[in-house]
Amino acid sequence: MITWRALLKRFLSDPVAICAAVVLLALILMAVLAPVLAPQNPYDLMQLDIMDSEMPPSWQPGGDPRFLLGTDTQGRGVLSTIMYGTGISLLIGVGAVLLSGVLGITLGLIAGYKGGGIDAFLMRLADIQMSLSTLMIAIIALALFQAAFDANVYADYAIIMLIVIIGVAEWPKFARTVRSSVLGEKNKEYVDAARVIGLPARKVMWGHILPNTLTPVMVISTIQVAEAIMTEAALSFLGLGMPVDRPSLGSLIRSGFEFVFSGSTWITFYPALVLIALILALNLLGDWLRDVMNPKLRRGDD
Amino acid sequence: MPMLEVKDLHVAFPRGKKDWIEALRGVDLTLEKGERLGVVGESGAGKSMLAFAILNLIAEPGRVSNGSIALDGQNLLEMSERQIRKIRGNRVSMIFQDPMVTLNPVLSIGTQMIETLRAHRNISRRAAHKLCVQKLKQVAIPSAEGRMDAYPHELSGGLRQRVVIAIALLTDPEIIIADEPTTALDVTIQAEIMALILKLCRENDVALILITHDLGVVAEVTERLMIMYAGKCVETGRTRDMIAAPHHPYAAGLLKALPQNAKRGEKLYQIPGSMPPITNLPTGCPYHPRCPRASDICRASMPPLEGGVACFHPLEQSQEAPA
Amino acid sequence: MSAPIVETRNLQVRFPLPTHFLSREKPVLHALSGVDVQITQGETFCVVGESGCGKTTLGRAIIGLNKPSGGEVYFKGQRIDQMDETTRKPIRRDMQMVFQNPYASLNPRRTVFDTLAEPINHLMPEKTKDEVRAQVEDVLAATGCDPSWQRRLPHEFSGGQRQRIAIARALVTNPAFIVADEPISALDVSIQAQILNLLADLQAERGLTYLFITHDLSVVQHFGTRVAVMYLGQVMELATAETIFADPKHPYTKLLLDAIPKLEGGSFERPRTPGELPDPVNPPPGCPFAPRCPLAAERCRTERPKLREISNSGSMAACHFAQ
């Protein structure tokens, strides 16, 4: 266990962690404040002009000061679409992790605490799920979904679909982590003490064991957000993710990819840069958290 | 000249960037050939640290910050790692509380013993095997020949500790340092192991440093005794004498608090409070907040170790225990 | 003798060992094989034995942490081992437990107040918030804890302080009977006396009955009223503390007493042969102690001795030859 104050102290003494957190915070702020900060609203067809399409960034010849990072083929400013797109990517990443977290924690807790047949069943289920790649499941599900509904319906529900598919596909990671720490915790004497007073299993699990297993969950959550964003970007790049008129970072990269060889590299380059920064910041923070939380790597005790 | 002489040993660990915390704060120790010394203290008193320091095994970032450790006149602290390794596990052996610290779980007992022996002796595999079986017989392991192919997990805790003792004896050491060798074992097994260690030390004239928290074990096995508190030796002397008539109030309190020293149905004597952590020591004598005899001088300065006692107000011989 | 507060009749606990789900063998560990004890109101009933003897399982089966595989458990004349949770709830107030390791027995994420209030909130839902608070403060005062500790987390306390908090939690519902499972063996020597005195004081003030589980016979001698010596899931000898130390009847009890290190020395002088607990998965058909017993005869290897009264002594022993 580590106190919040010790955590803060460790954080402030680690420049890499600080940099990662600053980048992440900046990107989150940028995404949240996009409606206020963005020079235009890329969703508002009234603001778009096809004449503005494929403009290079403003400092290059032919650039327009209205579009700092240039425009894409539909005349949307790349900067504005990045701001909105980052938000959509983050939303899907966080949403998917929340869903897989809730699923995984619940199932992992039950499997670890109850043991026996329930445990065996849930863990085999997790094994099967893990042996199917997330991307493969997502491609099949999204392709079916796209075929079943027309484009407008798909566009409306794409975010939810992506969250559900990525979230459901990733639950075994949480379940396994939680289960293994539950196995470690459930034989500790404080759990026996709770059982001595006849506390029902439900209260022992959620009230006593769960809070003591959340440390590793925090660590994997951070890394899983990065992973979910990557998955979504990959799907969008394949044309199965977010539709072009509500682009995430992945669909932005895709939308510019056809034009890379014709010289309009900025349409792909800048969203890719932001995506890399976002993933890197999340992974660095996740690694840092894991190191801090791992008592084996920590000196002394607390 | 004593065989082993430790003088003014300090071990420090860094806290933060510049700060150092001292886990051992000036410990002296001498050991004659074949002598058995007990080191007693509570957890955190620095008794295990002392053992590790003698073998130059203090883990980074801790270090020996002052003092000297001389084995037959040679200062171990000035030796290279290669020279130390010739002494460690050869002239000085160690037995830990957990046998699995010494034993490698994936190698058979025989392989481990033979490797250890061949690391220190120029000896053929066949001769090494023979010697190892002989050592296993010496520690009374039943069917010693067959056990050479056994893996550590196939043995019970008591047998494992016997194997560790056999390994410690392989190179015919002059000193064995035993750090809580029986704490994890049951009483009857503890009696077996301690009886074995005692017999082997006597027969082979091996000196023993026995580190433990159990005064009973120390009284049974050792000739001299050293009691540690908060990184310092508070009293040292002949075991018999100290147990019969301790001088330091802490030593006296520990003995008086033992249930075997109290009458049935009466309350046990209790030392109030608990040992301060080394990160937060009081000024003066570290024991003064718990001591019934403490006065102003105890709060102001640290009493030196004189005549075997580090106390400004030691108990006289006639007195039985602190007031 | 008055009616016992807690009684077990032929209590058995077996643990199935994990196997591959296709394997035909279903090995079972016999932790308790038929234990009958009667614990009298107000006494300290000690259970001693070495690891694996079933002493902890006995405590856990009585308190309801392990389900008996056979036999019966009674509390104040009511059979409790098969009670459903609603009927058992009022009885749980009267039965509490103190655990061995104060570093594991307190939930690291709960404040002392939350830990202490939980038993009241669950077992006495009729209490108001103010009553709960008052009850927590009372019990903290009774166990020598400072009222300011309530808002703090367990990691801020030393081992001795944590064990006081754990004792306070056991007492908060005002129980009549407490299972204390090695409550002092994880503590430093100078702290053990404090906790033993606290337990003795609480017993005197509140008329508590203890089931005191320990491996430390010197504590039993000081603290116990009656003693049950266990070996491989069975009671080997049962007598008052004075009798068992003055005149042990069972050869195992004699071995145990002989193994205690004594301040006078002399226990470890002669070498001992290694003795091991028989495999609890395949216990021998006869007396479990026969392989180590100096008295063992053919009869001991085939016929399991029953716990019987030894004439003119007040002791009960499970041995064919005890007298």
Shortest CA distance from A188: residue in chain C:
C104
pLDDT value, residue A216? 86
CA distance A50 to B203: 100
Q: A97, exposed or middle or buried, with CB in 10 Å at 0-12, 13-18, 19+?
A: buried
pLDDT value, residue A301? 37
Facing C222 at nearest CB: one of B214, B219, B259: B259
CA A208 from centroid of its chain's CA atoms: 28
Chain B positions in Cβ-Cβ contact with residue C100 (cut-off 8 Å)? none
Shortest CA distance from A116: residue in chain C:
C18
According to the 3-state scheme, what is the secondary structure of chain A? CCCHHHHHHHHHCCHHHHHHHHHHHHHHHHHHCHHHHCCCCCCCHHHCCHHHCCCCCCCCCCCCCCCCCCECCCCCEHHHHHHHHHHHHHHHHHHHHHHHHHHHHHHHHHHHHHCHHHHHHHHHHHHHHHHCCHHHHHHHHHHHHHHHCCHHHHHHHHHHHHHHHHHHHCHHHHHHHHHHHHHHHCCCHHHHHHHHCCCCHHHHHHHHHHHHHHHHHHHHHHHHHHHHHHHHHHHHHCCCCCCCCCCCHHHHHHHHHCCCCCCCCHHHHHHHHHHHHHHHHHHHHHHHHHHHHCHHHCCCCC
Tell the residue number behind the tokens 């915790």, with chain if given. Answer: A185
Render pLDDT for A167-176 as a digit per residue (tens, 0 to 9). 998 899 999 9
* Low-confidence residues of chain B: pLDDT under 70: 317-323
Are residue C138 and residue C253 in the same domain, yes or no? Answer: no
Render pLDDT for A149-169 as a digit per residue (tens, 0 to 9). 877 787 788 888 889 999 998
- Neighbors of chain C by Cβ distance (3+ pairs < 8 Å): A, B
On whether residue C146 sits in a domain, the answer given is yes
CA A42 from centroid of its chain's CA atoms: 23
Q: Could you tell me which residue, C319 or B158, shows the higher pLDDT?
A: C319
Q: Check whether A295 has a pLDDT greater than 70.
A: no
On whether residue C255 sits in a domain, the answer given is yes
Chain A positions in Cβ-Cβ contact with residue C63 (cut-off 8 Å)? 196
pLDDT value, residue C93? 92
Are residue C202 and residue C240 in the same domain, yes or no? Answer: yes
The predicted model scores a pTM of 0.86
Are residue C197 and residue C162 in the same domain, yes or no? Answer: no
On whether residue C186 sits in a domain, the answer given is yes
Mean pLDDT in residue range A253-258? 80
Which range marks the domain in which residue C145 is found?
Answer: 107-174
Chain B positions in Cβ-Cβ contact with residue C272 (cut-off 8 Å)? 188, 191-192, 195-196
Are residue C255 and residue C127 in the same domain, yes or no? Answer: no
Render pLDDT for C13-72 as a digit per residue (tens, 0 to 9). 998 877 666 667 778 888 999 999 999 999 999 999 988 889 999 999 999 999 999 999
The number of distinct structural domains making up chain C is 2
Query: CATH number for the domain including C6?
Result: 3.40.50.300
C191:B221 CB<8 A: no
A297 touches chain C (CB under 8 A): no
pLDDT value, residue C195? 94
Both tokens of C241, joined, read: 């503390």
Q: Which of B139-143, C161-165, C260-264 has the lowest mean pLDDT?
A: B139-143
Shortest CA distance from B194: residue in chain C:
C268
Q: Check whether A262 has a pLDDT greater than 90.
A: no
End position of a domain, from candidates C241, C263, C285: C263
Choose the mutation target among B36, B136, B187, B261 for the interface with C, i.e. most C CBs under 10 Å.
B187
Render pLDDT for A23-47 as a digit per residue (tens, 0 to 9). 999 999 988 888 888 777 777 777 7
Per-window interface: B 157-196 vs C, CB < 8 A? 158-159, 162, 186-192, 194-196
Q: Give chain C's mean pLDDT.
A: 90
pLDDT value, residue B144? 86
End position of a domain, from candidates C234, C263, C292: C263
pLDDT band at C7 (very low <50, low <70, confident <90, very high): very high
A150 touches chain C (CB under 8 A): no
Render pLDDT for A243-255 as a digit per residue (tens, 0 to 9). 777 888 888 888 8
Mean pLDDT in residue range C177-204? 92
Both tokens of A279, joined, read: 């993933």
Are residue C53 and residue C139 in the same domain, yes or no? Answer: no
- Neighbors of chain B by Cβ distance (3+ pairs < 8 Å): C
Facing A193 at nearest CB: one of C21, C99, C109: C99
- Neighbors of chain A by Cβ distance (3+ pairs < 8 Å): C
Render pLDDT for B124-141 as a digit per residue (tens, 0 to 9). 999 999 999 999 988 888
pLDDT band at A299 (very low <50, low <70, confident <90, very high): very low
A196:C122 CB<8 A: no
On whether residue C298 sits in a domain, the answer given is no
| Amino acid of residue B42 | E
Are residue C79 and residue C207 in the same domain, yes or no? Answer: yes
pLDDT value, residue C42? 92
Mean pLDDT in residue range A210-217? 88
Are residue C111 and residue C221 in the same domain, yes or no? Answer: no
Q: Could you tell me which residue, C189 or A296, shows the higher pLDDT?
A: C189
Are residue C1 and residue C76 in the same domain, yes or no? Answer: yes
pLDDT band at A1 (very low <50, low <70, confident <90, very high): low
pLDDT band at A294 (very low <50, low <70, confident <90, very high): low
* Residue C18 CB contacts under 8 Å (≥ 6 apart), including other chains: none
Q: Check whether A296 has a pLDDT greater than 60.
A: no
B257:C275 CB<8 A: no
Shortest CA distance from A301: residue in chain C:
C155
End position of a domain, from candidates C216, C232, C263: C263
On whether residue C23 sits in a domain, the answer given is no
pLDDT value, residue A302? 34
- CA of C192 to nearest chain B CA: how many angstroms apart? 8
Are residue C48 and residue C188 in the same domain, yes or no? Answer: yes
Are residue C120 and residue C231 in the same domain, yes or no? Answer: no
On whether residue C323 sits in a domain, the answer given is no
Are residue C8 and residue C90 in the same domain, yes or no? Answer: yes
| Contact of C32 with C233, CB cutoff 8 Å | yes
Number of neighbours of residue A294 by Cβ within 10 angstroms: 12
Q: Check whether A132 has a pLDDT greater than 90.
A: no
B216:C262 CB<8 A: yes
Are residue C123 and residue C170 in the same domain, yes or no? Answer: yes
Per-window interface: A 21-80 vs C, CB < 8 A? none
pLDDT value, residue B323? 42
